[in-house]
Amino acid sequence: MKAIDPHIHMVSRTTDDYLQLTIAGIHTIAEPAFWAGFDRTSAAGFRDYFHILTVTEPARAARFGVKHYCWIGMNAKEAENLTMSEDVLALMPEFLDAPTALGIGEIGLNKNSRNEIKTLELQLDLAVRRNELILIHTPHLEDKLKGTRIIMEMILSEPRIDPGRVMIDHAEEHTIREIKDSGFWFGLTLYPHSKGSPERAIDVVELYGAERLCINSSADWSVSDPLSILKCANEMRRRGHSEQAIGNVFYDNPKTFLSQCPKFQVG
């Protein structure tokens, strides 16, 4: 089967993982800017990182027939440093102009702090001015519902942002209904021991439907699996869903969302 992983962090993965992706049928991926497992100390570190996302990784992926797209943004965890965040935002337009940059992301909240909210506000304003797609990171801990509501209120209060051009990622069972009812796309992350499992993801498909849903691996430097979306597709197959329905979830849906950026091209 063909599949698109709309959220994977290949800068943290080995070249062998690209080979595994292409053999398995994942020929198109999107890599959001994220917290790399340590706090960077200056905007210069982000400049190098954005160069990797827009130049190095697309070239590495192309060696194996994988089309690599990216998102550019100031991640929520390091957004607590407001001075550095402002310096990073000044760099972002240069990299958003790259031919494989799809929009601003992953941005959002980590601890729902005042500085995180201010940085998010600045990035939403940049997205409006540039008409960019937006990929949202929601908190992983007990403040997920609160953080998700804060984020949605900020976006919905800006009439120039179409919720249909916003993906709210790392959604969980207690946030999905509000996200869908507000008109956003939502992402489910398959991440061992924390964000979700194939079984939970397909439970969501069966309970809430597949409309405006994307399932991703978010594979990175921690315990994670770059082939998890295919294992999730197999769980859907095991439960008796049709191949057309499986293709809708793992290929058509991410294609539909990402194709709102004219740079995104996939067969």
Question: What single string gives the DSSP state of each residue in 103-163?
Answer: EEEEEE-SS--HHHHHHHHHHHHHHHHHT-EEEEE--SSTTHHHHHHHHHHHHHT-TTS-G
Burial of 262 (0-12, 13-18, 19+ CB in 10 A): exposed
pLDDT in tens, 61-95: 999 999 999 999 999 999 999 999 999 999 999 99
Mean of all residue pLDDT scores within the chain:
96
**Degrees to nearest 5, angle at CA 128 with 125 and 130:** 110
Q: Where are the domains of the chain?
A: 3-258
Report, in this order, helix, strand and coil percent for the chain, each rounded to 5: 50, 15, 35
Which pLDDT belongs to residue 140?
A: 83
pLDDT in tens, 209-240: 999 999 999 999 998 999 999 999 999 999 99
* Nearest partner of 251 among 218, 200, 215, judged by Cα: 215
Which pLDDT belongs to residue 141?
A: 72
Tell me the residue type at 82.
Answer: L
User: 218: helix, coil or strand?
Assistant: coil
The pTM of this model reads 0.97
Percentage with pLDDT > 70 across the chain: 99
Which pLDDT belongs to residue 193?
A: 65
Q: Which class does domain 3-258 fall in?
A: alpha beta
In the predicted model, residues of the chain with pLDDT beneath 50 are none
Which pLDDT belongs to residue 194?
A: 64
DSSP label at 191? Answer: B
